[in-house]
Amino acid sequence: MSDSEPDLELLELLRQHIAGKPQVAAEPDTGVLESAEYVYNNSIDVALDMRSCKNAARAIYSQMQTKSYSPATWAAHELHPHPSKGDKPEDVVAFIFTMDLLNFCFWSERGEEERFSIEYKGRRWTGYWSLVAALQRALEEDPHFWQNEEELTLSTLKHVFRSATSEEMPLLAARLSCLREAGQILYEKFSCHPLHLVTSSNNSAARLVNTLASNFSCFNDTHSPPSFPRKKPIRLLKRAQILVADLWACFEGQGPYGKFYDIDKITMFADYRIPQMLNQLGCIQYSPPLETAVQLKRDIPSGSNWEIQLRACSIWCVELIRREILRENPGARVNAILIDFFLYDTIKEMENEGRERAPHHRTRSIWY
């Protein structure tokens, strides 16, 4: 290099010195875990029992090992879509998006024979599985049932979710609203298909969760209860997170639609079944007034102090269980998603066998 030629490396160093260090883009984060810890630290109606959490962590991991629990467990269910079953990947993504768009509020006060259920493939399906069965049935009858906004009316939805009993699917009008909103936003921002929504995340689970929450009001599961005053709302984001988790589980963490480099940022999915299971394990305990409300199956309003404590403390409880599992088993391939799936399956087994010791809390909500 001659004396007349500039030293480009030196010039760049001088620019950085004058302008300050180059800014590195922060990694996306959902804020859910931070919200959960904040609520836990300020909770007066829900408490955690640390010894029970440690015991639960040991038992949960042992049973997960025995049952070979993994993302493949999700795809193994006969109702879930999967490329190995001949489903096209783009159709799988669309199915999971639609499924988790409507994945809320299935509980009933009626008995098993009288509650809302779907008849499909010679069986009656209830709860979450009634949704999946109804969607599979609808796709067999009309693959385009949800794509035409003019045809997607409340009467159409009543036909899609027609029950084998006299009880109608809860919150049907709210589900219709979610479908219509999602269709409009997909059309305006994501080239009419959930596939483009997923790929816009650049394989970041947290970024996809945030994209869902910021673009779709029906995924924006955030709250500002009066007992938890702060500038930022409480972020729980159950259905946005479970959509990401279902993609990850379905594609077993691989490929353009299932691989997320930060999948462990996803927390458990704050609903009404996991708090029930954690309470049965002795991990979470309630104040006497809340305990009475749960036992008597009284309505607990969505977004209320009690409900936010139930959900947020459950998130934090599962996080502590996850940490304990990893502390005792370094390198274990376990995250909050798999723990949630396991706890949900376990409480449903207990329900079917009549081994529930306490009811779940009652909240009618589109958030879970």
Residues with catalytic annotation?
Answer: 271
Q: What share of the chain is helix, strand, coil (3-state, %, to 5)?
A: 55, 5, 40
Closest CA relative to residue 347, chosen from 295, 276, 266: 276
CB atoms within 10 A of CB 72: 13
For 65-96, the DSSP string reads: HHTT-SHHHHHHSTTS--GGGT--HHHHHHHH
Strands (E), 149-274: 222-223, 234-235
Amino acid identity at 245: A
Residue pair 246/100 in contact (Cβ under 8 Å)? The answer is: yes
Residue pair 269/241 in contact (Cβ under 8 Å)? The answer is: yes
Q: Which residues of 93-128 are buried (b: 16+ CB within 10 A; e: fewer)?
A: bbbbbbbbbbbbbbbbeeeeeebbbbbbeeebbbbb
Gap between the Cα atoms of 274 and 343, Å rounded: 6
Structure-block tokens of residue 233: 């709302």
Residues in the chain: 368
Amino acid identity at 296: L
Q: Which residues of 265-291 are buried (b: 16+ CB within 10 A; e: fewer)?
A: bbbbbbbbbbbbbbbbbebbbbeeebe
DSSP tag of 143: T
Gap between the Cα atoms of 146 and 78, Å rounded: 22
Gap between the Cα atoms of 40 and 35, Å rounded: 9
Alpha-carbon 261 to chain mean position: 18
